[in-house]
Structure formats: structure tokens, C-alpha cells
Amino acid sequence: MLIDLKVHQKAKYIQQKNTTRIEKATAIGIASEVSSGSVRRKPNCAKIQEEDEVELDYAKHYLHQVPYKEVPDSQLIRETQDCSAFRIVRGYHESPLSAEEERFPLAFALRMHDRAQQAERVLRAIYMPQNIYCLYIDKKAESTVHAAMLGIANCFHNVFIASRLENFIYQSYSPVRADLQCMKDITATDVAWKYFINLAGSEYPLKTNLEMVRILKLLNGSNDIEQFPLPELFQYRVQYQFVTKGNTTVQSGRDKIPFVPPVELFKGCSYNLFSRAFVLWVLTDEFAQNFLKWSADTMSPDETVWATLNRQPNAPGGYSSEISQVAKNFLSREIVWPWSTAYCWGKNFVHSICILATRDLGRLTRRWEFFANKFDASYDHVVLDCLEEIMGNRTRDAHPEKTVPFDYIRRVIGGRAKNSAR
């Protein structure tokens, strides 16, 4: 069974059980691989995926001895001056890989604020010529980041910078405004995209384009939006008005007037899978527009607006079932929080999200979600190198039935209760 449900206890058991074996393997295997203080080869991704302890230990040595080399923005700017060479050298697909994918184009909105190199890597991983891509860059990002991403966008007919940018401010309305801007810009194109997928530059796909298409066909117009009743712990976010000061979001001291008509609020993930009909409804429906405006001075509205709107009776593709990472029925994202049951081998957390590491690779390749968050190549580049290799192989082989847990996904989708229209 492809589904991985390991928890902390199992991970700790593995650590304890294999300590002696790893030490022996290190003495026998790693000693021959690492000589004179230097490694002689790149880690074997297939063995890491199989959770081979000797190879995992070698990868740890490799990370220490072969640090990540950041590609400067200036290099991307130079490379994109010759677009044909840029696309060929970096391996971008020039034509659809199947008629099935060509008939089911997707729309992506990539939000980023730094590290043009990692954002380009994500774009390359999800790029197909039949799709459409909106790049939303933090307005306050370095000018070289903007120049690098503009250079990349100019090399493709279906990649563009959002028509309006603003400063990203954590826990403010800016992430919602970014998604809405890309929704508007993408809808204005002549691409007949089926689903809108928003993502961050710190993520990486766990599914190929064909695998995504097959799963989205199973959704059959339904959204995949995490939603569960807003916990009491987070009620303060909508009970008071919040304002931005500098680059932070702070409570204003004023009470927030409840939304009219009264509506039950839901919480969920910022990143989801939105059907085209849902996006068009969000952009045109009076209730949806009023709720978005009301949410503008709440805290972290990106975690409430999509969940709450998806729960409305007349929301296209919406449903009344509780969908969450905890319930293991959310298809869009794999994220490890401090309270998650899934174990994360990375030791660093950013905004309470674990930065994934090489030892997470095997588990990640068995997941049912579309994307995983969060990655940082400067912390662990091997996990990204291996994911890129593995997903490239899966794209080439084109056998989703061998790599995707479709039976589980069908049960997840079949268990969702659709909303009843007003």
C-alpha cells in the first residue's frame, strides 16, 4: 500500500533499532565512499527513496561536505537573455506529453518573495506548455529577484508576472489579494484551464502533471479545500480588527463587527485546488465579494476565506464535510506542523512548518498529496535534488497507476458530502 502513516513513535523506534547497524554500515560502507575528507559521488536517490540506511548516512556526509551553491539572480538574468538555450538547458517541456494532458490544462499561481533559483526550480517541475502560470512576486523583494523572474517569464508564452503586485506582510490580507490578482489575470487569458492551483516558492510537487490531471478528473469539478470549524483558539483573529505596521500585522484594539448575514467561519490551508467554476464564482458573486472585503482586516484571512467560501451552499464544487490534514482527506498539501502525526526529520521550523529533509524522501514519494511544504535548499538540497530526479522519472515513465494511491483517493473523494444549494 502506497499510503505512509508513520508516526513519531515508529520513527524513534527506527532510530534506536538501527543505531548499531548504522554505525557498522558507516564503518564498512561510508568509509569506502568518503576518502580524504571528500565525497566521491552524489547520493543514490533510488536507495534513499527505499530508506536504505547506509545511503541515508552517506547523504548526511554529502550534505556536510558539499554545501548548497546558490545560483545568483544575475546568472538567471544572463541565462534568460537567450530563451531558447535557457529552455533547452534547463529541460523545459516544449510540447504536451499526452493528448489527455493537452485537453486538461491547469492554472498555477506561484507566490514568492526571494530565492529566484528555488522558484525557478518549482516552475520547471510543474511546467507544461498547455498550462498557464501567474508569478506573484513580493513587491519589496530585491530588484534582482524581480529582474530574474521577469526574464524567466519572458521566455515563455504562458508564464507572466501578475499585473499588480504589493508587499507581502505575514498574517495580513496580502496573500489573499495575491491569489485574487492571479485569478483575475489568469481568467482574462484564452486558456481553457480546468483547475486553479496556488503554491509558494518553498514548495515542491509530489505528483507529475499527468498524475495531477488524473486526480483532478476524479474530483469532477469539486474543489479540494481544507475546511473545519474555526477553533476557539483562533476566534480572536476575527473578533478584532488588525492593521499592518511596517512588515507586521498587529491588533488595532478595535472590535470587529460580525459579518452580515451571519455566517459560520471555517479554517483551513492557504493553498488548495480550486475548480474553474469556483474561481469565477469568487470573482463575481456578491456574497463572496462582500465576505472577502469583510475579511481584509482580520488576522491570517488566507486561512479562513477559502474554507468559509467553500462551505457556502451555492459555492461551485463546495462540500459540507470536514476536510483536514489531521483527517488525512486533504489532497492538496503535505505539511508537517509541530502537532502533526507525520514525522519530519528536519529540525528547523519556519512559521511552525517543518523544513523537510533527506530522510523524509521515502515517505514523501508515497504520499497522496499534490505538493509538500516546506523546502529550503540551503538547509537540505539533497531532498530537492532527489525529488527532482524521481518526479522526472515518473513524468517520463507515465504510469500513474503504479505511483499514485488511487483507491485511497477515490475513497477520500467519495466520502465528501456536497453542499446543498440555497
List residues with catalytic annotation: 303
Distance CA 302, CA 133 (A): 20
| Strands 248-255 and 333-335, sheet pairing | unpaired
Cα Rg of the chain, angstroms: 22
- Which residues face 244 on adjacent strands? 249
Cell numbers found for residue 191? 486558456
| CA 259/CA 296 separation, integer angstroms | 12
Burial 313-342 (b: 16+ CB within 10 A, else e): eebbbbbebbbbbeeebbbbbbbbeeebeb
Length of the chain, in residues: 422
State residue 296 phi and psi, 5-degree precision: -60, -30
What order of strands is seen across the sheet that includes strand 333-335? Answer: 203-205, 371-373, 333-335
CA 359 to chain CA centroid, Å, is 19
Q: How far apart are the first and last CA of the chain?
A: 41
Find out whether 170 and 247 touch, Cβ atoms under 8 Å.
yes
Q: Which residues pair with 134 in a beta bridge?
A: 109, 160
Alpha-carbon distance values, 335 to 29, 158, 251 (Å): 33, 29, 27
Distances 227 to 265, 267, 294, 312 between C-alpha atoms, Å: 9, 5, 19, 11
Q: Which H/E stretch holds residue 112?
A: strand 106-112
Look at residues 180, 112, 127 and name the one whose alpha carbon lies nearest to residue 158.
Answer: 127
Which residues are within 8 A (CB) of 188 and not within 5 positions of it... i.e. 6 or more apart? none
**Mode of pairing for the β-strands spanning 159-161 and 132-137:** parallel
Q: How far apart (Å, rounded) are the C-alpha atoms in residues 34 and 29?
A: 9
